[in-house]
Copies of this chain bind each other. A is one copy, B any other.
Amino acid sequence: MIYNQNDIENLETRFRANLINSLGGFKSIVLIGTKSLQGNENLGLFSSLFHIGANPAYCGFIVRPNEEKQNTLGNILNTGQFTINHVLPDFYKQAHQCSAKYNEGISEFEKTGLTPQYIDLIEAPFVEESNVKFACELAQKTNIELNGTTLIIGKIIKIIAPDSCILTDGFVDLEAACTITCSGLDSYHRTNKIGRLSYAKVDREIKEI
């Protein structure tokens, strides 16, 4: 099937949302934990997390102008902190439920049964059930005026991962950590490793490592 620009613009809204959200391929799916200045905990589901740099360690994600995402955004802007928590098969339904439009002041932790966890001096809550998780401080907020979304860039200031999942070269075995992936707006997937490949050079054949 080929969709041209006119076709895309004329698609039924929900069909287009499913189609366009599928095009990005398999995506990261994480729960972002924040706390309001009043002390209310919030947990939001995001599928747009991406790597920006390793040194300094930066990541970014997009906040859509939906009501339920504005609590996450507001808390980050007010407190400068957030946590990012990988999702496991054991609690993917609870994670999905965190995308519902709860009013400000309602904790998704309470509503879903996920457990807030506080580690050292980080004021935003982690998800205790997550294996791989990290804390960020707000590094930059950029408005994307094309469509009213917001790019949040975080500096990674604390990382938690099971010892057994961190290989000697720093690679985290996300399958061993039970991290899952998602596609489209609502589909969740486990993974099976095909292979790790050596660093690519122009004059050398790559091999499995």
The interface residues of chain A, by DSSP majority, are classed as: mixed
How many of these chains are in the complex? Answer: 2
Task: Report the nearest B residue to A47, measured CB to CB.
Answer: B51
Interface residues of A in 152-197 (CB under 8 A from B): 153, 156-163, 166-167, 169-172, 174-175, 179-181, 183-197
Q: A1-B161, A159-B8, A159-B19 are in contact. Are A202 and B101 (CB under 8 A)?
A: yes
Chain A interface, number of residues (Cβ within 8 angstroms): 112
Q: A184-B171, A196-B186 are in contact. Are A160 and B2 (CB under 8 A)?
A: yes
Q: How far is the CB of A58 from chain B (nearest CB, A)?
A: 6
Q: Are the CB atoms of A19 and B146 closer together than 8 Å?
A: no
Q: Are the CB atoms of B27 and A100 closer together than 8 Å?
A: no
Give the distance in Å from the alpha carbon of A92 to the alpha carbon of B179 in the complex.
Answer: 22
Partner of A19, one of B3, B144, B170: B170
Give the distance in Å from the alpha carbon of A49 to the alpha carbon of B25 in the complex.
Answer: 8
Give the distance in Å from the alpha carbon of A14 to the alpha carbon of B8 in the complex.
Answer: 42
A sample of 16 inter-chain contacts (CB < 8 A) reads: A1-B166, A2-B120, A2-B159, A14-B169, A23-B134, A24-B28, A25-B29, A25-B30, A49-B50, A58-B146, A140-B144, A144-B153, A171-B184, A184-B196, A186-B199, A186-B209
Give the distance in Å from the alpha carbon of A187 to the alpha carbon of B186 in the complex.
Answer: 24
Give the distance in Å from the alpha carbon of A188 to the alpha carbon of B198 in the complex.
Answer: 12
On chain B, the residues within 8 Å of A99 by CB distance are 200
Give the distance in Å from the alpha carbon of A154 to the alpha carbon of B30 in the complex.
Answer: 24
Partner of A172, one of B52, B167, B184, B191: B184
On chain B, the residues within 8 Å of A14 by CB distance are 169-170
Give the distance in Å from the alpha carbon of A5 to the alpha carbon of B22 in the complex.
Answer: 35
Q: A27-B28, A140-B146 are in contact. List 5 more A-B contacts (CB 8 A).
A: A18-B171, A47-B51, A50-B62, A97-B206, A172-B184
Q: Are the CB atoms of B194 and A23 closer together than 8 Å?
A: no
On chain B, the residues within 8 Å of A140 by CB distance are 144, 146
